[in-house]
C-alpha cells in the first residue's frame, strides 16, 4: 500500500535526509520525498499498519532534521 503525506522542509538536502530516514524505518518498503511538491510517498510492507508505522517515520525524520514536519 502506498500513501502520500504533506511535509514541511526547508532544503533539498534536508529532504534527502528525511527520505533516507523513512526508508530505514521498520514497516516501510520504500519512501520518496519530493522537495519541489513537499510530499512524501511511503510504500508500506505487507501487513504493516500505516497508523503505527508513520509515527515512527516522523520520529526518524525529526532525528535527522529537527525542523522538518510530516503531517499525518
**CATH number of the domain that 15 lies in?**
3.30.70.100
Location of C-alpha cell 501487513: 47
pLDDT in single tens digits along all 72 residues of the chain = 999 999 999 999 999 999 999 999 999 999 999 999 999 999 999 999 999 999 999 999 999 989 999 999
Q: Give the global pTM.
A: 0.94
The predicted pLDDT at position 1 comes to 95
Number of domains present in the structure of the chain: 1
Q: Please give the pLDDT value at position 46.
A: 97
* Spatial distance between the Cα atoms of 50 and 58, rounded to a whole number of angstroms: 12
> What range does the domain containing 7 cover?
2-70
Amino acid at each position: 500500500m502506498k500513501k502520500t503525506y504533506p511535509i514541511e522542509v526547508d532544503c533539498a538536502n534536508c529532504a534527502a535526509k528525511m527520505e533516507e530516514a523513512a526508508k530505514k524505518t521498520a514497516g516501510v518498503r520504500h519512501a520518496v520525498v519530493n522537495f519541489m511538491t513537499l510530499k512524501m510517498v511511503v510504500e508500506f510492507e505487507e501487513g504493516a499498519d500505516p497508523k503505527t508505522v508513520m509515527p515512527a517515520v516522523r520520529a526518524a525524520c525529526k532525528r535527522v532534521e529537527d525542523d522538518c514536519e510530516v503531517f499525518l
